[in-house]
């Protein structure tokens, strides 16, 4: 991929990404590995990550929406792609034409699909989605068997999978997660699901990190694969390391006198004469405004503080006594020399989850792959 020169970027280390895939692969054994690449692969870049995952031997991809699946198919990804989100009537033709698998979570949706594909005389590959306690989408376990029989009877469906989603698996030993696993296990052990091979899948990152019995036939860990195992994750998964960094280059440097206000609203006033440098990235890129006067970035491996309110396209730092020149590289997330800005610190300052930070880096930042 080529980009016009831009002074700020997201860097993705594909070698580390492939190492993470290896770590998970050896942990899950012979189970299938489904990588969820929704929301621009958690900010890492949908198609480059989809292609790299396929080459690294991932078995399945999953996305939230039809459009994400189409982009992957147009990028020539050939492995199965499961669209997780509930489908809409006007998407059914494209789901079929782009060879995407999708979720069936009600008889209503099943009948819509059947009415569209009967004339095509084509079987569609679907996964039956069961709600074991997330209250988002999915049929209740009590109706899953009758819906499955209905799907088989219409003759339009090849039910290749049955799955559910864990609501609280980011915590170890969570009673609700254990209940969900138990409900799912009891359901999929029903003889009706043993007559032909059906992929049973439940575990997200929290599942594989904390609950071995949630792994079934396929796992869907995404956050962990991008290098963020939970601190409480089983030991081998602590090998997972982040592969994404956010970097920029100093665009302007000046000396500011004592008692001077900096940026919108003058939310910062200099306590003495300081060296101020400007960084050309802002909340329009996903470097959030709530980091104003709170975050630090790395300059020559040292942490230096953000001063003043973060603007849409730029913000300022107090460069202290460090040498600083226009063009010097700075790191907003990730490592520089012996310094590191962790995703969790970043998210804590923004009072949100690290997931939201990752998928918040906008398209304006080019993705550079190492």
Ligand X SMILES: *Cc1c(COP(=O)(O)O)cnc(C)c1O
Does residue 44 bind ligand X (CB under 6 A)? no
Does residue 205 bind ligand X (CB under 6 A)? yes
Q: Is 32 or 253 the residue whose CB approaches ligand X more closely? A: 32
* Stretch of 219-227, 271-279, 306-314, 342-350 lying at the interface with ligand X (CB under 6 A): 219-227
- Of the candidate residues 10, 12, 24, 36, the single one contacting ligand X (CB under 6 A): 36
Q: Is 132 or 222 the residue whose CB approaches ligand X more closely? A: 222
Closest residue to bound ligand X by CB: 205
Shortest distance, CB of residue 222 to ligand X, whole angstroms? 3
254 is catalytic: no
252 is catalytic: no
Give the tokens for residue 167: 């609501």
Does residue 138 bind ligand X (CB under 6 A)? no
Q: Is 180 or 205 the residue whose CB approaches ligand X more closely? A: 205
Does residue 334 bind ligand X (CB under 6 A)? no
Shortest distance, CB of residue 132 to ligand X, whole angstroms? 12
State the catalytic residue, choosing from 120, 123, 252, 264: 264
Does residue 220 bind ligand X (CB under 6 A)? yes
> CA triplet 61, 209, 234: central angle to 5 degrees?
140
N residues, the chain: 370
Does residue 317 bind ligand X (CB under 6 A)? no
Shortest distance, CB of residue 204 to ligand X, whole angstroms? 4
Does residue 31 bind ligand X (CB under 6 A)? no
Shortest distance, CB of residue 269 to ligand X, whole angstroms? 41
* Stretch of 2-10, 89-97, 204-212, 320-328 lying at the interface with ligand X (CB under 6 A): 204-212
Binding flags for ligand X, 159-178, as an x/- string (CB under 6 A): ------x-------------
- Of the candidate residues 21, 63, 71, 84, the single one contacting ligand X (CB under 6 A): 84
Q: Is 170 or 297 the residue whose CB approaches ligand X more closely? A: 170
Helix (H), strand (E), coil (C) string for the chain: CCCCCCCEEEEECHHHHHHHHHHHHHHHCCCEEEEECHHHHHCCCHHHHHHHHHHCCCCEEEECCHHHHHHHHHCCCCCCEEECCCCCHHHHHHHHHCCCEEEECCHHHHHHHHHHHCCCCCCEEEEEEECCCCCCCCECHHHHHHHHHHHHHHCCEEEEEEECCCCCCCCCCCHHHHHHHHHHHHHHCCHHHCCCCCEEECCCHHHHHHCHHHCCCEECCCCCCCCCCCCCCCHHHHHCCCCEEEEEECCEEEEECCCCEECHHHCEECCCCEEEEEECCCHHHCCCHHHCCCCEEEECCEEEEEECCCCCCCEEEECCCCCCCCCCEEEEEEEECCEEECHHHHHHHCCCCHHHHHHCCCCCCCEEEC
- Active-site residues, by number, are 38, 264
Give me the residues that bind ligand X (CB under 6 A), please.
36, 38, 84, 165, 204-206, 220-224
């Amino acid at each position: 991929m080529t980009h016009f020169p831009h002074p700020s970027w997201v860097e993705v280390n594909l070698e580390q990404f492939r190492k993470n895939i290896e770590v998970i692969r050896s942990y899950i054994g012979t189970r299938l590995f489904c990588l969820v690449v929704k929301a621009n692969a958690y900010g890492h870049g949908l198609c480059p990550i989809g292609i790299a995952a396929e080459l690294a031997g991932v078995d399945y991809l999953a996305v939230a929406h039809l459009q994400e699946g189409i982009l992957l198919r147009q990028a020539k990804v050939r492995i199965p792609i499961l669209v997780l989100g509930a489908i809409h009537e006007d998407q059914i033709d494209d789901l079929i034409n782009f060879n995407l698998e999708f979720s069936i979570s009600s008889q209503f949706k099943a009948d819509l699909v059947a009415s569209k594909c009967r004339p095509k005389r084509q079987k569609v590959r679907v996964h039956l989605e069961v709600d074991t306690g997330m209250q988002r989408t999915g049929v209740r376990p009590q109706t899953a068997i009758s819906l499955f029989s209905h799907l088989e009877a219409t003759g339009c469906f090849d039910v290749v999978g049955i799955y559910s989603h864990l609501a609280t698996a980011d915590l170890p030993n969570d009673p609700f997660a254990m209940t969900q696993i138990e409900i799912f296990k009891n359901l999929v052990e029903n003889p009706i699901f043993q007559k032909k091979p059906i992929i049973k899948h439940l575990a997200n990152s929290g599942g594989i990190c904390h609950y071995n019995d949630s792994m079934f036939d396929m796992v869907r860990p995404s956050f962990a694969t991008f290098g963020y195992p939970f601190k409480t994750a089983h030991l081998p998964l602590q090998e997972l390391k982040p592969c994404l960094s956010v970097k920029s280059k100093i665009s302007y440097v000046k000396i500011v006198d004592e008692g001077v206000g900096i940026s919108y609203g003058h939310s910062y006033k200099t306590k003495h004469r300081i060296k101020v440098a400007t960084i050309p990235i802002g909340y329009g890129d996903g470097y959030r405004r709530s980091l104003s006067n709170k975050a630090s970035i790395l300059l020559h491996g040292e942490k230096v503080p953000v001063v003043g309110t973060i603007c849409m396209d730029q913000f300022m730092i107090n460069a202290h006594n460090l040498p600083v020149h226009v063009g010097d590289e700075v790191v907003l997330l990730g490592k520089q020399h012996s310094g590191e800005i962790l995703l969790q610190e970043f998210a804590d300052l923004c009072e949100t989850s690290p997931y939201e930070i990752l998928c918040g880096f906008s398209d304006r930042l080019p993705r550079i792959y190492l």
